Amino acid sequence: MTPLTQMPEWQALADQRQALAGRHLNQLFAADPQRFSRLSLRWGELLADFSRQRLTAETLGLLVSLAEARDLAGFLRRMTAGEAINATENRAALHIALRAEQPYRVTGRDVLPEVRATQARMRELSEAIRSGAWHGSGGAPIEAVVNLGIGGSDLGPRMAVQALGEYADPQRAVRFVANIDPAEFADTVRDLDPKRTLFIVSSKTFTTQETLANARAARAWLGDADPSRHFLAVSNNLAAAQAFGIPAQNCLAMAEWVGGRFSMWSAIGLPLACSIGMDAFEDLLAGAREMDEHFLSAPYAENLPVLMALVGLWNIDFLGAESLAVIPYAHRLGLLPAYLQQLEMESNGKRVTLDNREVGCATAPILWGMAGSVGQHAFHQLFYQGTRLTPIDFIVPVGDASPEQEALVANALAQGAALMKGKSLEEARSQLLAAGKSPAEAAHLAPHLACPGNQPSTTLLMSSLTPRLLGSLIALYEHKVTVQGCLWGINSFDQWGVEHGKQMAREILPGMLSGKGEFDSSTAGLLAAIRAWRKPRAG
């Protein structure tokens, strides 16, 4: 395959960058009164406005041509046929089958029956817990569900439980512990009663150090409680879950063809089902399925995930953006940036293509963010007057027409508009004069008030924050990641870098305990300082 950066379509985009260089977003709007309608897309109850991106309809056309030339359609055909597109692990990546109503095959086998069977089990368990029928070993109903998992076995359900707090069962707390730092476990269970607490050990591999440490902490905290009343497991390694002491009837299977960061639709979503109920969880699946259908059928120029991916690639590879800020204007979506961090950065933080070449261009952005309007009072200053290009995704659930909600939505719209428009030196000077400054003072201060504007952003409106629309939103970002990975020619579905870090942690731990081992001089020096500070343990 021709390297991406040597393709004529890539060169055409480089020329396009030259053609648009120096053109401010204000000029692009002035030149085209139809810019919003040309560069925004409404899909059901979502609307994406790309008009504040530094591109034109012509740019989008060139990006679409790149997607065609990279045979995105062929890649998606292989993905939906259950082929091992995760080539380095020889696995399919078929998370869309988790929300499908049609059969999908992996190595010739229809996986729909197993998906349905797991969903039925999730319904039984979540209903037993929510109705109070599931009793702890002392005979009292379960009042708190605590998920023990990390990465993809934590971030999705944790984010969604918070996002859908409005739908939560007020009788039951659903909490999450991920960190190997025992403080998180201690803080999470401090006010809970072991006799009324149920743990879900969520781990695809059931070998993850953090999760196993927390599962052991839970076992110790439960004391003599019967594990069969207080532990469930979700894993692809059911033998290990059972060896840990969780009986087979309490274990839910997770398929090999589901990657951790794409797994919130699987039994990994059980904590969410416990919080919002299985009917609402099925609404979430339906929303994702609707997005899948759109993604797999709409022409690229009208395809929300494809356009999101192409706009992102343009910003990264042609405008040189290093990061992507995701700012949801909804307190309950506060964990969305953390969730998307894993989705985008673990998937596409890669440098080698599937045909073993250097990719030759930048890949995943550094994704970060927090809920608006809080971030406005922290880091938006850098957007307005800093030296970096920082594209932003504003995610705005419109919600009701209460004055408070109107103020939130108005803030979101104002940020996008102000960052685009900026404030000229002349405007700054007039503002200062109107505030009573002398002409000399105004001239001196104006450069400090002026903002260049031209900061690119996408505004994604959703009518409200419902399970269905949350499902569509998450599936949208999943497909964006898949499209970008396909265009860059990398494998979005493995994570060998993380494995390297895990291996190093396994090597350092024995050295730390024993004081022996071969380490680089920095690690050895740090270990020596740690040992010197450590107080010997009592006993």
Catalytic residues, by residue number, are 346, 377, 502
Closer residue to ligand F6P, CB minimum distance, 439 or 497: 497
Closer residue to ligand F6P, CB minimum distance, 53 or 495: 495
Give the bridge partners for 480, in sequence order: none
Closer residue to ligand F6P, CB minimum distance, 45 or 256: 256
Closer residue to ligand F6P, CB minimum distance, 177 or 450: 177
Residue 150: CB minimum distance to ligand F6P, A:
5
Pairwise CA distance, residues 178 & 51, whole Å: 39
Residue 218: CB minimum distance to ligand F6P, A:
15
Binding stretches for ligand F6P (CB under 6 A): 150-153, 203-205, 208, 211, 260-261, 346, 495, 498
Pairwise CA distance, residues 434 & 420, whole Å: 24
Closer residue to ligand F6P, CB minimum distance, 209 or 438: 209
Closer residue to ligand F6P, CB minimum distance, 290 or 346: 346
Closer residue to ligand F6P, CB minimum distance, 236 or 390: 236
Residue 341: CB minimum distance to ligand F6P, A:
12
Residue 268: CB minimum distance to ligand F6P, A:
8
Residue 155: CB minimum distance to ligand F6P, A:
8
Extract the tokens encoding 45. Answer: 């109850």
Q: Which single residue brings its beta carbon nearest to ligand F6P?
A: 260
Pairwise CA distance, residues 527 & 532, whole Å: 9
Is the Cβ–Cβ distance between 449 and 431 less than 8 Å?
A: yes
Residue 366: CB minimum distance to ligand F6P, A:
17
Q: Name the nearest CA neighbour of 489 among 95, 11, 72.
A: 72
Is the Cβ–Cβ distance between 472 and 291 less than 8 Å?
A: yes
Residue 164: CB minimum distance to ligand F6P, A:
21
Those residues with Cβ within 8 angstroms of residue 243's Cβ, 6 or more apart along the chain or in another chain: none
Pairwise CA distance, residues 450 & 446, whole Å: 6
User: Which amino acid is located at 149 in the chain?
Assistant: G
Cα distances (Å, whole numbers) of residue 75 to 68, 91, 303, 408, 483:
11, 14, 16, 40, 9
Residue 481: CB minimum distance to ligand F6P, A:
13
Pairwise CA distance, residues 111 & 106, whole Å: 7
Those residues with Cβ within 8 angstroms of residue 261's Cβ, 6 or more apart along the chain or in another chain: 151, 152, 155, 156, 342, 343, 346, 347
Q: What are phi and psi of 253, to 5 degrees?
A: -85, 150
Pairwise CA distance, residues 294 & 305, whole Å: 9
What phi-psi label fits residue 71: left (phi over 0), alpha (psi between -120 and 50 degrees) or beta?
left
Is the Cβ–Cβ distance between 192 and 198 less than 8 Å?
A: no
Pairwise CA distance, residues 165 & 175, whole Å: 12
CA distance from start to end of the chain: 64
Closer residue to ligand F6P, CB minimum distance, 10 or 262: 262
